[in-house]
Amino acid sequence: MATAATRPFAIGATLLPLALPVLGYLSSDIRIMFTIHLFLGAFWFGTAVLGAVVLGPVMGGLSAEANVEFAKGFVPRMTLLMEPVSVGVIGSGIGLASMMGLWASPSPSLWAALVLAIALLVLGFGPLHKFTVGMFDEIAAEETNHERLAALNKKYGMLSLVELVLMIAIVATMSGLRWGF
């Protein structure tokens, strides 16, 4: 996948979202960590909405050949970018909460955010990753099995809607944190 997405993209997409939270934490400045968390969180949320609501359905409606062409560029880049971004958002959130001293007596919203974050990671690195790798294998194969590709695409689409619901819930917990719940 790294080769398909191009090496510079793979390096940037992995390093940037993982390095930013570490730098934010090392800065010892809550404002810097907050900004990094906000930036990565907004990026993840926006991309998840775009993927589930716009790109997924568009891909599903393409002809088999066009779908393969689209997926060739889309699948490796999306996977290489979003997996580190998800870890970066959650890592920066946990780090930010720690810098704000919130873990000393975690509020219900903080617990809820943590549970939702774990569920998002399990979903993302478990079944979503599995379906993505399966799709990539089909795309890269000499003879693409279009039926398998379409089936994986459909499962992926449905699970990304579940992911979207969890993300909306986690953003609600962010609001809860802000207002002290």
Binding site for ligand HEM (CB under 6 A): 37-38, 41, 44-45, 89-90, 93-94, 96-97, 100, 102, 110, 113-114, 117, 167, 170-171, 174, 177-178
Residue closer to ligand HEM (CB basis): 7 or 179: 179
CA pair distance 76, 82, nearest whole angstrom:
10
Residue 18 CB, shortest distance to ligand HEM, in Å, is: 15
Residue 156 C-alpha from the chain's centroid? 13
Q: How many CB atoms lie within 10 A of CB 52?
A: 21
Residue closer to ligand HEM (CB basis): 73 or 108: 108
Residue closer to ligand HEM (CB basis): 73 or 106: 106
Residue 43 C-alpha from the chain's centroid? 9
Residue 94 CB, shortest distance to ligand HEM, in Å, is: 5
Residue 21 CB, shortest distance to ligand HEM, in Å, is: 11
| C-alpha triplet 85, 119, 166: angle, nearest 5° | 80
Q: Given its phi and psi angles, is residue 145 left (phi above 0), alpha (psi -120 to 50 degrees) or beta? A: beta
Residue closer to ligand HEM (CB basis): 119 or 150: 119
